Each structure stands twice: as C-alpha cells, then as structure tokens.
Structure 1
Amino acid sequence: MRIMRSVGLTCLVSALCLHAASAGAEQLRASVVDQTGAPVVDAVVYAMPIDMKVKAPVSKRPKAIIDQIKRRFVPLVSVVQTGTAVAFPNRDNIEHDVYSFSPAKRFELHLYHGVPAKPVMFDKPGLVVMGCNIHDQMIAYLLVVDTPWFAKTDARGQAAIDNVPGGAYRLAVWHYRMAAAEQRPSRDVSASASAGEPAAFTLQLESE
C-alpha cells in the first residue's frame, strides 16, 4: 500500500502566550484556528531551546502508545521526543500489519494480535506516516522532535506546553494537513515571567 494523502488547510495560529507556571518554569500556550476562525484539532506546537542542550530519553520502555481500535489508529496524531520507544498494541479481534516507509523511520510489525514483544524506537527526528498492509483506510502520523517540550491542540484549538525552563526558544507549529510537512512556521521567543506580548502566527495553507 502506498500512503498518499492530498493535503491542505489554511489556518491561523493566534494568541501564543507565555506565563509563569511555577518558580523556574514557564508555560507556553497556543490557540490554533483555521481561516474561518474554527479551532484546529491535533496541531502540534513544540519549543526548541536556542541556548541550552536537551537531554534525550534513555529508557527503552515504551513512553508512548499508538493503539489499533476498530481498524483505526488511536490517536491519529502523536508527537514524541527523539529517542522515544512507542508501543503498538492491537486491540481488535483481527490481525494488523503496521508499517512505515518514512525516511525518519522505516519499520514493519508483521501480522499480529495483542502487543508486540518489542516497542519501536524512534531515534531520528522527522515525520513518520504509518499504515496497515491489510486495511488501507488505516493511517496515523507521528512527529518526532528533538525536544521534550511539545503539546497538541484540543477540540478548542488550544495547546499548553508545561514546565518549560526559562530561556530562548524557537516555537514551531505543524499539522498533518499542511501542504508541506517541512515548512513549519516558527518564531523565536523568550520563556520568562517577564516575557513581552504573546507571539502570533498566521499560516496560509490550502483547503482540504
């Protein structure tokens, strides 16, 4: 099966604000809407530090789960830090064959029930698009980023990144319906209690 998807969406990322969550840590918040003002669900917002190093996870135990339920991947969109192991339990009463041809991670979990013996380690940043060799309608998106500070927008188009240490960051936004996954709008901001006006992004994308 070849995973192909016509993509498109025009959206506005607005009201990106920073405020103190606790002493020594901040919270980054974002609101994402489309060109009609409707909230955008499952947009990923992540913060890359500019002046500090990020520690990669060291545990090989699964830190994230992508389920297979009623012939669908749940969740549709996931985001993890580079070096994270992900489990792929099959909760259906039929077998699935999960695979990806994406450059960031090529893998295949051959026909199986239950939980595979080993999780899949995602050790390169980038977008991983997954499917099932048996059920063509099944598709999922995993964005692997070189940072532990990320969040997805909810049904209201809202996202919050908690416990961000003070410092300079590059905020980026991605959505699976963007025309080009590599074109992620970004803005440099300072995570501090005295941060200035909220940063705002306007994205011009194609309709679906």
Structure 2
Amino acid sequence: MTLSGHNLVRITLCRLTQFRRAVSYFCVILLWGFVSSSYGSGNGSGNGYPLQFVDQHGTPLADVVVEVTSPLHVQPTTDIAIMDQVNKQFEPRLLTIAQGQFVSFPNSDDIRHHVYSFSQTKRFELKLYSGTPNAPVRFEQPGVVVLGCNIHDSMVGYIYVSQSKEVFISDVQGTVILPNTSTQVAIWHAMQQQDIDKRRIVSVTELQQSGPVTINIQDPAPRNTFSEMFKEHHGH
C-alpha cells in the first residue's frame, strides 16, 4: 500500500508529537529527581528530620551551626578551605571546616588587610598584605575562631572547626535537617548571649520534644566589631 503525501505528513506529525510528549515527560522526571536530591543541601539531608531555630523573639535564626557529636573524629581533609576578604568583609562570614584542615586567606580587595585571631582555638596573625598569603593556616584544634582585621575593626568573621563530619548550618528559615541516626548535637551561633566560644550540647530527643529551639542572641545591638566582642567576653 502506498501512502499519499498528505497521509505521510499526518503520520510524521503524529510521531513527532508523541516524541515531544515523551521528551517532556522525561524532563519532568529529571527535574523532580533533581529537586528531591537537592532538598536539604547545605542544611542537612532530605532523609532526616528537621529542627528549627528561633531567637528569643520567635524570629527564625539563620547561620546556627549544628554539629552531630560522635566518638569517631573526622579524618582531616586535604582540601584547602577559603576565607576571602571582599569589600572590607570576610567572605563567607561563617566558615565550617574539619579539625586539622588548612584555610587560605586571600585578599580580593585593592587595599591591604591584617588578619588575626585571639581565640584559644587558634591564635594567629597574617600581617598587612594584599593578594594571597604564601601558606595557608592549619587549624589543629576543634572550636570557634573569631577573625578580625587590625586595620578595619568592623571586619569580623568566624571559623567553626568541627570534630564530626556531620555539620550543618541553618537556612534563612532557621531550619536544619539532621540525619536519622543523630543522638546528640552541639549548637553554636555567632550572636549568642553566652560566651562566643561556648557550644550548647543537647540530646536530639530533647530538641524534638521542645518544638522550635530558642537561642538567646545579643539584643538589641549585636556585637559588630572585633574589639567589642573581645572586650565583652574576654576583658580585652
């Protein structure tokens, strides 16, 4: 049987329509898989359970560090973390790294900076420089490191050095998603009212039963300069 030109065109268009529908369906499946796998990235795993953090006024609290405590310490990574300096600010303002990891402190500004820390976890100094220092800094001890600039006092940054490989930071909604295996966590926030280097250790069961977790932060004016923070908590 021979097909007329008209019928051949109709069959071709029909098959093309079916092909487009199949491609569209496939794309939808791919997109759904991407969204599902991305859920919780940066603040936990989509397979766990959520915790929300708020301040004393009930406002969702971003940048809460939640470390799942474990007797097994994380193995140091060979990756070098980056704490940049952009527009007279540390970038990122909060950096989480593993115990023993190295951090590089490039200066992307067109002016020089003098980076240092008085924190017990890591005392160090990178004197007035531009560009990238020759050697990164190793952070051997777990804890909190507060960074400042000897030239620009409003520059404040934080490095959280963890023992565990499971460390999460709350998003703008104050939420983290913890692995189902979590039993105990350490909680820390840069603006907490308690000492800047103190972490709150609490069981996950207790947190689940309490609803949103409240962290009392500095109110009304947060600590906003390096010297103010250490004057308040360390008597400097």
Q: TM-score range by the shorter chain?
A: 0.7 to 0.9
Q: CA deviation at 1:115?
A: 1.6
SS in structure 2 at match of 1:172: strand
Give the Cα separation in 1 of the matches to 2:45 and 2:82.
30
Change in CA separation of 1:168 and 1:115 when aligned onto 2, cut-off 3 Å: same
Give the Cα separation in 2 of the matches to 1:170 and 1:183.
16
| Alignment-derived partner of residue 48 in structure 1 | 69
C-alpha deviations, 1:54-92, integer Å up to 9, x for none?
Answer: 232152x40x21110000111222222211111111110
Q: Indicate if the aligned counterparts of 1:32 and 1:43 stay in contact, CA closer than 8 A.
A: yes
1:138 has 2:155 as partner: yes
Pick from 209, 219, 222: which aligns with 1:207? 219
| Alignment-derived partner of residue 187 in structure 1 | 202
Q: Structure 2-normalised TM-score? A: 0.65
Give the Cα separation in 2 of the matches to 1:124 and 1:207.
30
Q: CA deviation at 1:204?
A: 4.5
Change in CA separation of 1:155 and 1:53 when aligned onto 2, cut-off 3 Å: same
Structure 1 residue runs of 5 or longer lacking an equivalent are 1-17, 22-26, 191-195
| Alignment-derived partner of residue 156 in structure 1 | 173
Q: Which amino acid aligns with 1:159?
A: V
Cα RMSD (Å): 2.6
Q: Which has the higher contact order (CA 8 A, sep 6+)?
A: 1
Q: Which amino acid aligns with 1:142?
A: I
Give the Cα separation in 1 of the matches to 2:143 and 2:62.
20
SS in structure 2 at match of 1:198: helix
Q: Which amino acid aligns with 2:166?
A: W
Give the Cα separation in 2 of the matches to 1:176 and 1:169.
24
Give the Cα separation in 2 of the matches to 1:121 and 1:29.
33
| Alignment-derived partner of residue 57 in structure 2 | 36
Q: CA deviation at 1:203?
A: 3.8
C-alpha deviations, 1:134-154, integer Å up to 9, x for none?
Answer: 111111111212111111112
C-alpha deviations, 1:126-176, integer Å up to 9, x for none?
Answer: 211111111111111112121111111122212235xx5x75632121111
Q: Which amino acid aligns with 1:54?
A: H
Pick from 84, 90, 97: which aligns with 1:67? 84
Pick from 89, 114, 117: which aligns with 2:134? 117
- Of Structure 1 and Structure 2, the greater helix share is in 2
Change in CA separation of 1:92 and 1:206 when aligned onto 2, cut-off 3 Å: closer
Pick from 156, 159, 171: which aligns with 2:185? 171
| Alignment-derived partner of residue 92 in structure 1 | 109
- Of Structure 1 and Structure 2, the greater strand share is in 1
Change in CA separation of 1:93 and 1:204 when aligned onto 2, cut-off 3 Å: closer
| Alignment-derived partner of residue 96 in structure 2 | 79
C-alpha deviations, 1:113-136, integer Å up to 9, x for none?
Answer: 222121111100121111111111
SS in structure 2 at match of 1:114: coil
SS in structure 2 at match of 1:154: coil
Q: CA deviation at 1:206?
A: 5.1
Give the Cα separation in 2 of the matches to 1:66 and 1:80.
11
Structure 2 residue runs of 5 or longer lacking an equivalent are 1-43, 221-236
